[in-house]
Amino acid sequence: MRGKREPMMRHSYRAIGIFLLVLAILAASVTPLASQASDAELVLQALTVLREHYVDPLDPITLLNAAIGGIRRVLSGAGLPVDSLAALPPGLPEGEARQVFLATFTTASTQYQGPARELAYAAIRAMTESLHDSHTAFLGPEQYQERLRQQRGEPAFSGVGIILMERGGKFYVREVIPGGPAEAAGVRPLDRIVMVDGRPTSGMTISQISTLIRGPTGTTVILSIQRAGVPEPLVIPITRSPIRLPAVRAERIEQGILYLRIYGFNPGTAAQIQDAIYRLGGLQDEAMILDLRGNPGGFLNELTRVAELFLPRGTPIYQMREREMPAVTVRTRSVPLIPPWTRVSVLIDEGSASAAELLSAAFQESGRGTLVGTKTAGAVEASILIRLSDGSALSVTVARMYTGLGKRLEGEGVTPDIPVDLSDADLDAGRDSQLEAAIRIALPTPAEVTLPHRAPQLVFQF
């Protein structure tokens, strides 16, 4: 692991990437503690990873007590006694603490009727959750593999190709993935999903609905959809297929405004943005809307390349501080592609995270663009993804992130210059009120704009 760590420390500003909801930045391998670690040893392996890589020093007793707490919750949920699973006393030597934990795990696993691996995963999750860190978390083997496929630009899962959002207990289509089966079946942005395979979505979470919609390639899922202006729900059968998330969508909309949506900051995103702008004829005097809503982040080096397309040379983009090292400021180093006289509106919301938040803050702090929408996620750290011996993984925060001017966004988020909420009433009426506001702000003179019920059409899919 040391061999993996040292190059990243020397070239961190080029090598680290950031993601919301534990999206990984780098992939690293852990030297196995054994060819097949036992379930208890897997927890101790995770403990070692956290202690060696986390940005701040960690107390092993505190982490192991969190792990024991996670095991206790599983047993308690199964109606089993937990009195024998005592917390470790403060000050216990780490070697002794590890041995006591092994004995505690053995006691728990003999009581639990399910697989001991479930206890190990619960213990590891409890350790990461105890840190209250947006980018430190446990990923099961399937989650880990999906994350790697996303990073490689491969189809990450099998589904229908929609991105959901929740408003007022209702669930709407935030985005229809270009080229996916939902688009082919006629699903539109802002459609409200009322049932999945005959099961009402009321009272569900987005995660639960996503689980119902996803499934094996070639199988069918039936969505019941309420569409603005249509009195009766639409019943749409969709055949699932592998879904590849695009990097960029672009088109010209009202009065020649260039609309650009960035889905994430994965390798090649900046080049694809540049290509899209050139194919649309470049930018002269018109305005531009940069849509970062629902963007979970990506790689820091790609964030830097994207920022250099928009911001003046020398603009501070972000600061980062690694363990026991001073903060480093990363600035733009080239003349931007977008002319400085082009008016830019930046759309953000609660789904904008990590790299998307840093880019938004850079626009705001430099005065280069106007932020429109709602407060961002406040999930801004730098992490690496480390594989454990059973095929699961840990996302571990290795650097604290700040805006270019040194403001912490973790747990705080970016506040828009022009707050505009996207209410369920707007969505039920088929109105993207945030985009309408962004258009009014981007135009040289105020204009009332009401868009038809559609998202900007895809011009280029990458």
- Strand boundaries in 180-310, DSSP class E: 192-196, 199-200, 220-226, 234-239, 241-243, 248-252, 258-262, 288-291, 297-299
Tens of pLDDT, residues 425-434: 999 999 999 9
Sole residue written with tokens 């005065």: 367
Beta carbons of 373 and 426 less than 8 angstroms apart: no
> Which tokens hold the place of 270?
């900046």
Tens of pLDDT, residues 314-370: 999 999 999 999 999 999 999 999 999 899 999 999 999 999 999 999 999 999 999
Domain ranges of the chain: 2-150, 157-243, 248-381+399-442
CATH value of 157-243 in 3.40.640.10, 2.60.40.10, 2.30.42.10, 3.40.50.300: 2.30.42.10
Output phi, psi for 406, to 5 deg: 95, 15
The 10 Å CB-count burial string (b at 16+, else e) for 48-76 is ebbeebbbeebebbebbbbbbbbbbebbe
If one compares 35 and 353, the residue with the highest pLDDT of the two is 353
- Residue 452 pLDDT: 40
Sole residue written with tokens 């982490």: 63
Tens of pLDDT, residues 210-268: 999 999 999 999 999 999 999 999 999 999 999 988 889 998 888 889 999 999 999 99
> Which tokens hold the place of 291?
């849509």
- Residue 21 pLDDT: 30
Would you say residue 192 has pLDDT above 60?
A: yes
- Scanning 36-195, the segments in alpha helix (DSSP H) are 39-53, 60-77, 94-111, 116-129, 141-151, 181-185
Sole residue written with tokens 């996302």: 395
Domains 157-243 and 248-381+399-442 equal at CATH topology level: no
Q: What is the Cα–Cα distance from 273 to 252, expressed in whole angstroms?
A: 14
Q: What is the Cα–Cα distance from 60 to 54, expressed in whole angstroms?
A: 12
Cβ atoms < 10 Å from Cβ of 382: 27
- Residue 4 pLDDT: 33
Tens of pLDDT, residues 165-186: 998 899 999 989 988 999 999 9
Categorize the per-residue pLDDT at 440 as very low, low, confident or very high, splitting at 50, 70 and 90: very high
> Which tokens hold the place of 283?
């930018």
Report the predicted TM-score, pTM, of the whole model to 2 decimal places. Answer: 0.84
CATH value of 248-381+399-442 in 3.40.1080.10, 3.60.110.10, 3.90.226.10, 3.40.50.1970: 3.90.226.10
Tens of pLDDT, residues 84-112: 899 999 999 999 999 999 999 999 999 99
